[in-house]
Structure 1
Amino acid sequence: MNVATLLRAFCEAVESRNGEAFAKLFTEDGVYHDVFYGAFAGRAKIAAMIDDWFYRTATDFRWVMHDPVSDGTMLYARYTFSYRSTLPEAKGVRAMFEGVAIMTLSDGKIARYHEVANTAPAFVDLNFAPERIAKIVAKQGAALKARPEMQQHLG
């Protein structure tokens, strides 16, 4: 599967709430590290992440990958991601943020997925109190710094 096809299938599976199709893009022992929810290992857990976790408090997802770069074993792509929140304080607003997807590939499948994202604007869109935003962003930063495999990407 070429990079453009892989990324299109990736985004379409999320947008259509198709965890099974999404999980098939990963190796059997693949791991998806979500910026909000943490790590999901194996296809069953990755599928559940899409079908259950993502759609638990949101709907109407839009995910677009931009400017992918790959050497066949690593794939990087900027992305824009948005969804309509079902959280009470959000009042149905669409939240959006940007990030970078970092994927380790194996035999045309995703073995590991990581992301670095600026999620703060989405929390403002969702009408979260500033104290809540600061707490969430600090927690995400600490979790990112604690992952040894991310050190090469953080400088």
Structure 2
Amino acid sequence: MNISAMLKSFCDAVEQRNGKAFAELFTEDGVYHDVFYGAFKGRAKIAEMIDDWFYRTATDFRWDMHAPVSDGHALYARYTFSYRSTLPEANGARVMFEGVAIMTLRDGKIAEYHEVANTAPAFVDLNFAPERIARIFAKQGAALKARPEMARHLG
């Protein structure tokens, strides 16, 4: 398995709104845990996440992976991710954040994807009211508490 080629295909599929190609990078029972939208299980749901959920309120995606590290079973990579928001309050702003992709690999495919991201700058770029940002972070905190297995990824 060529990790660099897989990560390039991963990013290209998102940028090209190609959910089918993106989902093919995952095992049949793969799960993508999105920092905003939650878990999507199976290739059909993962493809839907890209083709519908990601592009529902955004366009012009850019995703770059940096400094990947893998032992063949786990893959970690820093990333930068940005898009142009179509939400009315964002006024067409370009939103960017950084994070770490955490992948479990099986048979050359992604079995599970998690991410840890600094989303606060994106919410400011989106012109979200402080109360809305507080509700989002409270929801993310509750979701993390409900998944204690993520603690191992966060140190």
TM-score range, shorter chain: over 0.9
For residue 154 of structure 1, report the CA deviation from its aligned partner.
Answer: 2.3
Letter in 2 for 1:64: D
5+ long unaligned stretches in structure 1: none
Counterpart amino acid of residue 6 in structure 1: M
Q: Structure 2: how far apart are the matches of 1:138 and 1:82? A: 23
- Aligned pairs for 1:1-155 within 5 A: 1-155=1-155
SS in 2 for 1:59: strand
Identity %: 84
What secondary structure does 1:92 align onto? coil
Q: Following TM superposition, by how much is the alpha carbon of 1:17 offset from its aligned partner in structure 2, in angstroms?
A: 0.1
Mapped to 2, the partners of 1:98 and 1:144 lie a distance apart of 19
- CA-to-partner distance for each residue in 1:10-43, whole Å, 9 max, x for gaps? 0000000000000000000000000010000000
Structure 1 stretches of 4+ with a deviation exceeding 6 A read none
In the aligned structure 1, how far is the partner of 2:15 from the partner of 2:69?
A: 23
Local SS of the residue matching 1:36: coil
TM-score by length of 2: 0.97
Across the aligned residues of Structure 1 and Structure 2, the Cα RMSD in angstroms comes to: 0.8
Structure 2 spans left out of the alignment, 5+ residues: none
- Give the Cα–Cα distance (whole angstroms) in 2 for the partners of residues 144 and 35 of structure 1: 10
- State the alpha-carbon separation in 1 of the partners of residues 141 and 82 from structure 2: 21
Aligned residues, how many?
155
Query: Cα offset for 1:143?
Result: 1.1
Does the residue aligned with 2:75 lie in a helix, a strand or coil?
Answer: strand
Counterpart CA distance in 1 for 2:145 and 2:61 is 28
1:35-64, CA deviations, whole angstroms, 9 ceiling, x for partnerless residues?
010000000000000000000000000000
